[in-house]
């Protein structure tokens, strides 16, 4: 038996300025054929889990294409159609296949195809036919569409946020494929879009409210006929009709096995909806408790969450902490212009530099800084971390220190803060700081929790601000909590 492996992955923020084009995919992770096996066979990534499952089942895996760009603005029509031509062109060379293992993100938006993942999965279904199983993984930040469900036999979401179980979930999807091809199961997929969108900072799965919900979903696996359960948290920064949270249940043969599970999980979320919306914490409260908080403190800059498509160039927290004269803090700021300027100086030289942007439209100030180091910004991560990638490239970087002893890593390419190696690979010791600013919400916690005894999600301005009701949507479904109140029979 031969199973094709293919994927196009992008988390698209439709509120972000600018579009995501081919260069962003080229600067991300784009592999063909055996390159995919080499890159991911030992990685904590779902593709690695799929490879492992196919080898254990003695099924030949046919790697086609895997393309992933850092989360950002809407994908251009040109880029998406180019990716599809490349992927389906390669796949046609290997047809027929017995099955397809797929890796969509689930929150991709193209300017010409708002349901980007549903579109390419539907094209795949047309190409391989209705009898070829299509089984895959999705990010729990997916906005799942009916088209995605209709095009596939089974989709399995990661169970953790931060996403440290990607390889395990990839292996789960691979096992479902093997069991399907070898006649042990006949997967049937049930889907329930929820009448609410879970607030981004409440999506940490190791704490309530999500912890209890995921435990309920796990317990349901002991019931007769249940193959897989997925809590899809959703991605609030996409103005599409699918935006919101949902639940997927995979059963063996008889759909009725999963109907009660869908109802129970849905009722739990709806009845506890206020907990899934949460309370936002601003910088003022952090400043007030600064002296009593163990250090280093991890400050999560939610409004400039690179992993949610933000530009990564906000200096809002830098300004706030400098104005309050709060300790020495590490910041990573995406600013290619500042890197270019800094590269004209040598280590130890002092110069004036304008850094980053203010998302609240306040003009930025110039700072006197000293160059600490400069050079290429490539590093590797071999531990299980959010995203499961091994190789990272920030492009040329410059590390500078301000007069207030803040250390700034300036990067040419946007890279989310998923790895502590982003600091340590360049001689930066996280324990030297009173605080570390990470431009994320939950994803950085997997990397930083072992060195930061206190973690605070800060409600900052930007295109990934925590309060989704601040954004103007034209396409979302109605009613949708917390935008509107919803009926509850609890």
> Domain locations in the chain?
2-276, 283-466
β-pairing, 134-138 vs 2-9, is: unpaired
Residue 361: what pLDDT?
85
Could you tell me the CA-to-CA distances from 219 to 149, 150, 212 in Å, in that order?
23, 26, 11
Low pLDDT (below 50) residues in the chain: none
| C-beta of residue 309 within 8 angstroms of C-beta of residue 11 | yes
**What is the SS3 assignment for 458?**
strand
Condensed to tens digits (0 to 9), the pLDDT of residues 8-36 reads 999 999 999 999 999 999 999 999 999 99
Distance CA 214, CA 146 (A): 23
Condensed to tens digits (0 to 9), the pLDDT of residues 389-437 reads 999 999 999 999 999 999 999 999 999 999 999 999 999 999 999 999 9
Residue 265: what pLDDT?
97
Residue 164: how many other CB atoms lie within 10 Å:
23
| C-beta of residue 478 within 8 angstroms of C-beta of residue 239 | no
The closest alpha carbon to 419, from 43, 22, 35, belongs to 43
Distance CA 373, CA 389 (A): 26
β-pairing, 366-380 vs 350-354, is: antiparallel
Residue 453: what pLDDT?
96
Could you tell me the CA-to-CA distances from 66 to 1, 83, 87, 204 in Å, in that order?
21, 10, 8, 27
Examine residue 331 and say whether the peptide bond preceding it is cis (omega within 30 degrees of 0).
no
Distance CA 173, CA 135 (A): 6
Residue 321: what pLDDT?
92
Residue 61: what pLDDT?
98
Alpha helices (H) in 19-151, listed in sequence order: 22-26, 34-40, 46-56, 77-92, 116-128, 146-151
Distance CA 233, CA 213 (A): 11
Q: Which residues pair with 159 in a beta bridge?
A: none
Distance CA 389, CA 383 (A): 9
As a whole number of Å, the CA-based R_g of the chain is 22
Tell me the average pLDDT of the chain. Answer: 97
Residue 284: what pLDDT?
87
Q: Is 98 left (phi over 0), alpha (psi -120 to 50) or beta?
A: alpha
Q: What would the two tokens of residue 482 be?
A: 């917390």
CATH of domain 2-276: 3.40.50.360
Q: CA-based angle 177:178:183, to the nearest 5?
A: 100
Distance CA 266, CA 211 (A): 15
């Amino acid at each position: 038996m031969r199973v094709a492996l293919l994927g196009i992955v992008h988390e698209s923020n439709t509120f972000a300025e600018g579009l995501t084009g081919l260069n962003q995919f080229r600067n991300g992770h784009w592999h063909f054929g055996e390159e995919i096996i080499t890159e991911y066979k030992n990685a904590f990534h779902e593709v690695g889990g799929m490879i492992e499952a196919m080898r254990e089942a003695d099924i030949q895996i046919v790697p086609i294409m895997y393309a992933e760009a850092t989360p950002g603005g809407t994908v251009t029509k040109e880029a998406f159609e180019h990716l599809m031509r490349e992927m389906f062109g390669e796949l046609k060379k290997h047809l027929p296949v017995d099955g397809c293992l797929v890796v969509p993100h689930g929150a991709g938006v193209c300017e010409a195809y708002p349901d980007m993942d549903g579109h390419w999965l539907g094209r795949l279904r047309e190409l391989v036919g209705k009898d070829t199983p299509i089984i895959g993984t999705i990010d729990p930040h997916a906005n799942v569409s009916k088209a995605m469900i209709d095009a596939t036999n089974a989709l399995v979401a990661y169970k953790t946020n931060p996403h440290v179980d990607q390889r395990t979930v990839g292996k789960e999807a691979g096992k479902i494929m093997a069991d399907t091809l070898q006649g042990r199961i006949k997967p049937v997929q049930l889907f329930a879009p929820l009448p609410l969108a879970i607030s981004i900072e409440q999506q940490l799965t190791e704490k309530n409210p999500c912890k209890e919900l995921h435990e309920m979903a796990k317990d349901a696996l002991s019931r007769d006929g249940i193959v897989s359960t997925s809590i899809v948290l959703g991605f609030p920064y996409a103005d599409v009709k699918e935006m919101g949270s949902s639940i997927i249940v995979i059963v063996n043969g008889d759909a009725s096995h999963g109907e009660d599970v869908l109802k129970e999980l849905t009722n739990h979320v709806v009845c506890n909806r206020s907990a899934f919306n949460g309370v936002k914490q601003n910088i003022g409260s952090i400043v007030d408790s600064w002296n009593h908080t163990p250090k280093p403190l991890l400050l999560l800059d939610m409004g400039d969450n690179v992993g949610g498509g933000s530009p990564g160039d906000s200096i809002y927290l830098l300004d706030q902490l400098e104005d309050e004269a709060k300790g020495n803090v590490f910041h990573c700021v995406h600013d290619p212009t500042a890197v270019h300027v800094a590269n004209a100086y040598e280590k130890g030289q002092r110069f004036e530099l304008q850094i980053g942007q203010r998302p609240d439209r306040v003009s930025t100030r110039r700072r006197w800084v000293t160059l600490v180091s400069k050079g290429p910004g490539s590093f590797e991560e071999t531990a299980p971390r959010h995203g499961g990638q091994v190789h990272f490239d920030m492009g040329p970087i410059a590390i500078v220190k301000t007069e207030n002893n803040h250390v700034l890593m300036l990067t040419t390419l946007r890279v989310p803060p998923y790895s502590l190696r982003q600091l340590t690979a360049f001689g930066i010791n996280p324990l030297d700081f009173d605080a570390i600013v990470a431009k994320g919400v939950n994803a950085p916690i997997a990397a930083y929790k072992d060195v930061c005894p206190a973690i605070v999600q800060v409600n900052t301005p930007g295109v990934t601000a925590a309060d989704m009701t601040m954004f103007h949507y034209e396409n979302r479904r109605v009613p949708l909590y917390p935008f509107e109140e919803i009926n509850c029979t609890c």
